[in-house]
Structure formats: C-alpha cells, structure tokens
Amino acid sequence: MKFLSWNVNGIRACLGKGFIESVLAENPDFICIQETKMQLGQATVELDGYEQFWCSAEKKGYSGTAIFAKYKPLSVTYNGMNIEEHSHEGRMITLEYENFYLINVYVPNSQDGLKRIDYRMRWEDDLRKYLIELDKKKPIILCGDMNVAHNEIDLKNPKTNRGNAGFSDEERGKIGELLSSGFTDTFRYLYPDATGIYSWWSYRARARQNNAGWRIDYFIVSDRIKQNITSANILTEVLGSDHCPVTLELDI
C-alpha cells in the first residue's frame, strides 16, 4: 500500500496550485493532509475513487485535517484522544483497518518564544499514550506534520535554531520518547545518514531556493512492521505549499 501525507497550508489555495495533479501523479491508496484551513462545504476536492474524511477546527480558517482513502475503514475516529482540550482544533483522524490503524495528525506549533510549549507537552504525552494503546491491538501508521526536527541532521541550521519552536530540547525529547516507545521513523530507518532533504521551508529569505529547510513531516510505524517498509520518500520537487508531500510504501 502507498500512503501520502502533505501539509497543504490551506487546501483552497493549494487546489489552485496543482494539488489534484500532484497527488494523483503518485497514485497513493491514502492521502492524508494537514492544515486544511476550511470547514466542510467551503471547497470541493474532486478525487474520484477516494472516500473523504474531514476534521475541521472550530475556529474558521485554522488547522484541520483530512484523509482520502481508496478503502472503506472499519471505523473512523475524529480527535481520537478523547480529551476535551484536544477536541477543538481538528488535529487528528484515525481510520481503523483489518491489519492496521492509520492516524493523521497536525501537531500543535509551540509558537514564537515557545508560548504554547506547555500545551504542546500535554498533547505529546497524550498522543503517545493513545498510540501505545492502539498499538496493543494492531500496528499503527502515524503520519503528518509533527512540527519538530528530531536531530541536527533534520534541519539546515541547527545551531542558530536551537531552542526555537520546532527545535527545542523539550520537543525533540518528546519525539524521542515516542520513538523509544516501540515506533520507527520510516525515512530515517531507510536513510539514517541522508542530509539536505527537508519537507518544510520558510517563505522568508528564499529559504526553499537555498534549501534552508526542516524535516518536520513524518511517517512513523510500529516497530514490528518496520521490516515491511519498501519506500519512504520526501517529494521535494512538489510545489503548492511551504511543505512538500512525504510518502510511504508498506507491505501490509
């Protein structure tokens, strides 16, 4: 099966920048998007052959996730951690299938000055607990904008960004905790030493042209299926957002 994940930074804008053509060129079985920035009915996404699942934030034009799936799930859960403070921003969709759970997330940004770091830490702890519980039942495939570069190899300028949102010790520690809980970063599993491959670039200072980027978009799977990974790619040439899509192919 092939999975694609992309923070589109506003699906309505991305639709005008080749979104449909870009995702269909990959022919994935599942398309997971983050930062839709829309409510149902504000845009039509025409992807024949895919069932659509949308989870919007209560605040209009903010956050939001969606999954487009070729296969009908056994169950669908929105904002699945079942915790009230995490239920307002449309940040998670879980699809259950016979052999796995697919979880699409848009992890909260800690914001400038780490103003939201306390909430981010609670989200991280609750997400990890949620994934561990699901993993007891069947393997998980987690994807999305995790809003963190795990190690120095995952961003162009680690020294000048140390302590900033997305590269704070607290955030890096939490993704380390997650991976130590029985989960595998699929890209690093296949490419442990690859450098200069990023999934997000600031709109400032010609960052994308200079490849001054960050790898903050992930596919993470249960350790027990890591040997089933056949491909994990970052589609750096695909435009349309400040992020590019990431893909995973898995025998499952």
Active site residue 62: no
The stretch 217-230 carries a mean pLDDT of 98
pLDDT of residue 107: 98
Of the candidates 149, 9, 143, the residue with the CA atom closest to the CA atom of residue 67: 143
Q: How many CB atoms lie within 10 A of CB 4?
A: 24
The pTM of the full predicted model, rounded to 2 decimals, is 0.97
The stretch 23-50 carries a mean pLDDT of 95
Is the distance from CB of 110 to CB of 120 less than 8 angstroms?
yes
Is the distance from CB of 46 to CB of 53 less than 8 angstroms?
no
pLDDT of residue 40: 85
Calculate the average pLDDT of the chain: 97
CA distances from 236 to 40, 153, 199, 200, 213 (A): 29, 16, 7, 9, 10
The stretch 193-204 carries a mean pLDDT of 97
Write out pLDDT tens, residues 118-143.
Answer: 999 999 999 999 999 999 999 999 99
Catalytic entry in 106, 130, 198, 218: 106
**pLDDT-based confidence at 17, cuts 50/70/90?**
very high
Ordered structural domains, the chain, with CATH: 2-250 (3.60.10.10)
Write out pLDDT tens, residues 88-113.
Answer: 999 999 999 999 999 999 999 999 99
Active site residue 145: yes
* % of the chain exceeding 90 in pLDDT: 98
Catalytic entry in 97, 101, 135, 145: 145
The stretch 178-204 carries a mean pLDDT of 97
pLDDT of residue 195: 97
**pLDDT-based confidence at 41, cuts 50/70/90?**
confident
The stretch 16-27 carries a mean pLDDT of 97
Round to the nearest angstrom and report the end-to-end CA distance of the chain. Answer: 7
Is the distance from CB of 76 to CB of 115 less than 8 angstroms?
no
